[in-house]
């Protein structure tokens, strides 16, 4: 089973009961077709970035679900038909795996043995740049 995220915007002019019915309809559709709703996050009423059908506000929802690969297409078909849905987007969620291998931690052998060794080298380094300056 694949994991998906569904974000859709419902018309903000709907009453609470009608909005709950729309949410239950699509959650029920996922479960009836063998999917599993993992989480429903209601973002609430928000201002749209641009007017859609002369509407400036919408009610946003995020639904995380698991299903077979054929179910998202069926949900999109039903979302497209519904007049109360302004916009929708279904995205397949990939497992977070990094292609970057962790870098091994290297410990310098002389730093691990004696912490005084770098302090003794510091005066020798200071004398080295002074020698070429005198040659000029």
pTM above 0.85, yes or no: no
What pLDDT was estimated at residue 60? Answer: 96
Can you tell me the distance from the alpha carbon of 93 to that of 99, in angstroms, rounded to the nearest whole number? 17
Q: 3-state DSSP call for residue 82?
A: coil
Domain segments of the chain: what residues?
Answer: 2-93
What pLDDT was estimated at residue 132? Answer: 57
Mind listing the pLDDT tens digit of every residue in the chain (136 residues)? 899 999 999 999 999 999 999 999 999 999 999 999 999 999 999 999 999 999 999 999 999 999 999 999 999 999 999 999 999 999 999 877 767 777 788 877 775 565 555 555 555 555 555 555 555 4
Largest distance between two CA atoms of the chain: 90
Length in residues, the chain: 136
Question: Partners of 11 in the beta sheet?
Answer: 58
CATH assignment of 2-93, given 3.30.70.60, 3.50.50.60, 3.40.1000.10, 3.40.920.10? Answer: 3.30.70.60
Can you tell me the distance from the alpha carbon of 130 to that of 64, in angstroms, rounded to the nearest whole number? 67
What sections of the chain are H helices per DSSP? 16-32, 71-81, 109-113, 117-135
């Amino acid at each position: 089973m694949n994991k998906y995220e569904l974000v859709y915007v419902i018309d903000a002019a709907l009453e609470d009961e009608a909005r709950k019915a729309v949410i239950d309809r699509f959650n029920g559709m996922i479960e009836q077709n063998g999917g599993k709703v993992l989480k429903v996050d209601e973002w609430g009423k928000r201002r749209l970035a641009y007017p859609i059908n002369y509407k400036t506000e919408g009610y946003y929802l995020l639904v995380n679900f698991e299903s077979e690969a054929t179910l998202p297409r069926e949900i999109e078909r039903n979302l497209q038909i519904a007049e109360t849905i302004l916009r929708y987007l279904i995205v397949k969620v990939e497992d977070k795996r990094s292609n970057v291998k962790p870098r091994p931690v290297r410990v310098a052998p002389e730093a691990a043995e004696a912490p005084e060794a770098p302090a003794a080298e510091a005066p020798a380094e200071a004398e080295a740049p002074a020698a070429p300056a005198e040659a000029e």
